[in-house]
Amino acid sequence: MKQRSGFVSNSSSASFILQLSKMSDLQIYSMLHREEVAKNLNFEETEIMDLADWQVAEDGEFIRGDTGMDNEAMGKFFKAIGLSNNAIVEYDGD
């Protein structure tokens, strides 16, 4: 859970929840090792850094992620690893 205190200007955030049972082993690996995979997929260095900013954890049923800054890199990464919409329980971002 994200908590903010005080005044925050020009702030945005993004989050997602993915259902493991609807993902392949390769997609799960890719999400948990996204920087390495993104390099192999020839993502730009700035996109790889954006992916590194995401806090991602797997709990046995879901992969959950969040970041303090909304960015397009994660949406692009979802597409690059072939993640289907039915695996995405929730996605609040670009």
Model confidence pLDDT, tens digit, residues 35-56: 999 999 999 999 999 999 999 9
What's the average model confidence in pLDDT over 6-25? 78
Residue 72 lies in a domain: yes
Give yes or no for residue 3 having a pLDDT over 70: no
Residue 2 lies in a domain: no
Q: How far is CA 25 from CA 29, 38, 74, 92, in A?
A: 6, 17, 18, 24
Q: What is the mean pLDDT of the chain?
A: 87
Residue 81 lies in a domain: yes
Residue 43 lies in a domain: yes
Q: Which domain holds residue 85?
A: 25-92
Residue 56 lies in a domain: yes
Give the total number of structural domains in the chain.
1
Residue 9 lies in a domain: no
Both tokens assigned to 23: 């993902």
pTM of this prediction?
A: 0.82
Residue 7 lies in a domain: no
Residue 4 lies in a domain: no
